[in-house]
Structure 1
C-alpha cells in the first residue's frame, strides 16, 4: 500500500464519519441552543432540562436516520474490503 492510497482511505474515513455523525451533532446543538435560550429567558437553571431534550432528540434522529447511517457504514466497509482484496 502506497502512502497515496493510505491518505485516500483516511480521507474517505473522515468524510464518512463526518457525514454519519453530523445529523445527530447538529440536531443536539440546535436543541441545546434552544434550551439554553429558554433557560436564560425564564431564569430556570435545572440541570436535567439541559440533558433530557438533547438525549431525546439524539435518540429520535438515530431512529429516523439509523438505516441511512448503517447503510453508509456498510457501503464504506464493503468498498474497503474490495480495495484490500485488490491490493494483493
Structure 2
C-alpha cells in the first residue's frame, strides 16, 4: 500500500465523518444559540435549561437524517471494501 493510497483513504474517511456529523452539530449549535439569546433577553441564567431542548433537537435530527447518515457510511464502507484488492499487493 502506497502513501498516496493511505492518504486518499484518510481524506475520504475524514470527508465522510464531517459530512455525516455536520447536520447534527449544526442543529445543536443553532438550538444552543437560540436558547442563549432567549436566556439573555429574559435574564434567566439557568445552566440546565439548554440540555433538554438540545437533546430533543438532536434526537429529532437523528430521526429525520439517520437513514441518510447510515446510507452514507454504508456506501463508503462498501466502496472501501470493494477496492480492497487494490490496496493489498505483494
What do you get for the CA RMSD once the two structures are aligned? 0.9
Q: Once the two structures are superposed, what CA deviation does each residue of 1:15-58 show, in whole Å capped at 9, x if it has no partner?
A: 10000000000011011000001001101112221111111111
CA distance in 2, matches of 1:87, 1:28: 38
Q: Which residue of 2 aligns with 1:51?
A: 51
Q: Which residue of 2 aligns with 1:32?
A: 32
Q: Which residue of 2 aligns with 1:86?
A: 86
Shift of 1:87: 3.1
Query: What 5-or-longer segments of structure 2 have no aligned partner?
Result: none
Count of residue pairs brought into register by the alignment: 88
Where do 4+ consecutive residues of structure 1 move more than 6 Å? Answer: none
**Does residue 2 of the first structure (1) align with residue 2 of the second (2)?**
yes
Q: TM-score, normalised by structure 2?
A: 0.93
Shift of 1:69: 0.2
Q: TM-score, normalised by structure 1?
A: 0.95
Asked which structure has the greater RCO (Cα within 8 Å, sep 6+), the reply is 2
**Does residue 73 of the first structure (1) align with residue 49 of the second (2)?**
no
Query: What 5-or-longer segments of structure 1 have no aligned partner?
Result: none
